[in-house]
Each structure stands twice: as C-alpha cells, then as structure tokens.
Amino acid sequence: MANPSLLILAGDGIGPEVMAEVKKIIGWMGDRRGIRFDVSEDLVGGCAYDAHGTPLTDATMAKAQEVDAVLLGAVGGPKYDKLDFSVKPERGLLRLRKEMDLFSNLRPAQCFDALADFSSLKRDVVAGLDIVIVRELTSGVYFGEPRGIFKEGNERVGINTQRYTESEIARVARSAFELARKRRNKVCSMEKANVMESGILWREVVQEVHDRDYPDVELSHMYADNGAMQLVRWPKQFDVIVTDNLFGDLLSDCAAMLTGSLGMLPSASLGAPMANGRPKALYEPVHGSAPDIAGQGKANPIACILSFAMALRYSFDLGEEATRVEKAVEKVLADGVRTADLMGPEGGTPVSTAQMGDAIVAALDASL
C-alpha cells in the first residue's frame, strides 16, 4: 500500500521556520513509529510571487488536488502590500480553499493548564477550555457577487454581498453535527437572523438538518454578537460552534485569544470526501507570517505542529498518534519550556523555535 501523501507549502515569514519543526515530527513518525509519508514541497504566497509572478501556480494547485492533505505555514508580509489585489499572497491561500472546495474550517480553542494564566481572562474562566468553531469557508460575504469598488455620482462605493444557498449551509451544518457526535454532543449555531435575511435562512436550514438527521445532538441558536460576548463571559458553555464565513473569522480570532497565544492554535479546512473516503484537507496554524520576527528563531512552532496532529486525526485516521503529539506538547508546556510569546511573569525555560521542536520530539520519545 502506498504511503499517504502530504504537500508542504511553508510560505512566507516564519512559515518555513515553524514548518521545519513539523518536519522533525514527520521524521520521528517514520523512524520511531514506522509511519511514513510521501512528502513534497512547493511555494505559496509571496515567495511564489517572487519566483513565478503569481501567489499560486497552476502546477502547485494541481498537486494540492492530488495529495491526501496539504500542510501550509503562513503567507504575506509588508513587502507585498502594494501589489495588485489579484496577486497578493493571500490570494494563493484563498484559491486553495476555493478550488479544493474546503467548505468546513475547524478552529479548536483549547487552553492548556500550563498556559491558563496567559489569557487576559481569569484562570477559572479559561482553564480546561476545549471548544471548536466550525466556520463556513467558501461562500458568504468574502465570495458573494456583486463585489468591488464602484463610482456612484461624485463618490466611490464599496460593495460586498452576503450570499448563501441552502446546500452550502446544510453541508457545513452536517460537518458540525458530525464533529459534535465525537465530542460532547452539543452545537450552537450563530448568525444575525434578527437583521439579515441570510441569517434567517441559516437558522432555518441548520434547524432542518438537525431535526431530520441529528436529533440526538443538542442544538441552540445565538445571535453572533451575543456569541462574541458569551465567548468572553463564559466560553466553557460551548462545545461546537457553527457559523458563517465572516462571523467565523471574527469569532475564531476572539476564541483564539482566550487561550493566551495565537502561536498555540491549529486549524483544519475540510472538503468533500475523495475516492479513498477521506476529505480533501488543508491544515494551517491560525497565526500569520509574523515578518517582524522571521529568521530570528523566536517563532512558536506549536500551532503548526498541532495542525499536523489534526492531519493525523482527520486525513490519515491516526487518532492515537495525533493524541500522542498533543500530549507531548502538553508535557513540554507543563515542564515550563517557553518560546518568547509564552514567557510570562512566572518565568520558564526560554527556547528558540528549533529548541521547542527538539523538546517536543524528546517528549515523543519519552511517550514510547
């Protein structure tokens, strides 16, 4: 049987640095667990523009369609700010999401006990937090037409269109309900049905999918602005939150900071099942390219490593190995090992990006 295939797109800024630590984990899996991957690498974002004049070549897009999973680092940086919108680094990432039809974006927000004091909220509010936001990723206001900046009379007007079909809502709702069945069996759907027709449709379709196919899952509905407030007030009331593209973007960043550092948070973008039954998938850390610290060994690689753990679980059916990686991260943090973003008043052992990766590999060795 062929080894599972993985395309690595390290991208820009700190992307290559954090991805180097993931490669250590991939190597460890082969050497110590006999789990080997066929790994290929290519360019995306600003580095692809520098090399090819486009943030994502057709050839790279074709590779992404063929492999079992894509692992991406980060894209962008201020050197590309003046590029035309059509070739900005972020367009490469959006093209991957759109053409792979990665409609379901899973963004976990988990607070490790060792980092509970890093949140701006009180320890009892965030300690033990473990929620997942399921964000619809390929439709809504980021993709709707008409869009653009137009001239009306003597002034310009910017237009973006919020648009959802029943089928687009239903499939991301099913993704959330399926995930909830593997967790605590509870879904909260968030929209703005009080002021937006798309929100009314969203609420109706989510309820219909629930009543028809998932009556065993507890479902609640909440306006998205109240959802943001509740995430800050008492986030542990939630298990799985499902919401649209725009609100999911905002709410997941809010949830990210409950955990203390963006450098800790992975994500998975999943699509329809392929011939092998596994979903098309792209995994990436939530953080950006952080060009201000690129090349300095200061970046936290944990979010990228945990993104690979999500790939082990969702794309390669290796849940036990995913848990092994997650436990290794937890052990290292409990031991006080800290990259710069995790150094607090209580101190800890300061380490570089590479040293954090080495510490996690050592913890994996100790798990055997």
> What is the pairing mode between strands 104-110 and 266-273?
antiparallel
Among residues 50, 130, 253, 358, which one is catalytic? 253
Catalytic residue among 49, 249, 280, 331: 249
Angle at 162 between CA 161 and CA 164, to 5 degrees: 130
Asked whether the beta carbons of 325 and 306 are under 8 A apart, the reply is: yes
Catalytic residue among 49, 68, 88, 142: 142
Q: Catalytic pick from 50, 101, 213, 225?
A: 225
Radius of gyration of the chain (CA): 20
Judge whether 213 counts as a catalytic residue: no
CA 160, 256, 207, 310 torsion: positive or negative?
positive
Q: Does residue 142 have an active-site annotation?
A: yes
Residue 289, C-beta contacts closer than 8 angstroms, at least 6 positions apart: 11, 12, 13, 14, 15, 45, 73, 74, 75, 76, 77
C-alpha–C-alpha distance, residues 165 and 269, integer Å: 20
Please indicate whether residue 249 is annotated as part of the active site.
yes
93, 76 Cβ separation under 8 angstroms: no
**Hey, how many other C-beta atoms are within 10 angstroms of the C-beta on 165?**
11
The catalytically annotated residue of 88, 164, 192, 244 is 192
Catalytic residues: 142, 192, 225, 249, 253
